Amino acid sequence: MQIKIHESYRKLVAVCDSELIGKTYSQGIRQIEIKEGFFKGEEKNKKEIIEILRKMQSEDAIFNIVGEESVKTALEAGVIDEKGVMKIDGVPVALVLL
C-alpha cells in the first residue's frame, strides 16, 4: 500500500493499494482518478499503515482511502466505518472529513 501525508491547514492522509496508482474508475456520475502525485508516497505494510492512521486520527486528519486492502486496513485501524465505504466500478473508496 502507498501512503502520502499532505500538509495543509489540516493533514490529509491518502492511502491506496499500490497497483491502483495511475488508474481511473467511473460509475455513473462518480469518478475517481488515482493520481500518482496525490497518492504515491511511501510503500508501507499493513501494521505500519495502521499505526500511521491511528496517529493521524488523533491529530484530526482528513482521510482519502482507495482499494480493497487499504479500506480493510483503515477499517481495522478504526478510522472509517463500513457505512462510509462506497464503491466506484467495484473499487472501495472511503473519505473522512472531520
Q: Is 12 inside a domain boundary?
A: yes
Among candidate residues 28, 47, 7, 82, the one with its CA nearest the CA of residue 65? 82
Q: How far apart are CA 10 and CA 28, in angstroms?
A: 31
CA angle 6, 85, 7 (to 5 degrees): 5
The residue behind cell 481511473 is 24
Number of structural domains (the chain) is 1
pLDDT tens by residue, 8-39? 889 999 999 999 999 999 999 999 999 999 99
Tell me the whole-structure pTM to 2 decimals. Answer: 0.93
CATH number reported for the structural domain that contains residue 45 in this entry: 3.30.1860.10
Q: Is 70 inside a domain boundary?
A: yes
pLDDT tens by residue, 67-82? 999 999 999 999 999 9
Which residues form the domain of 47?
Answer: 2-91
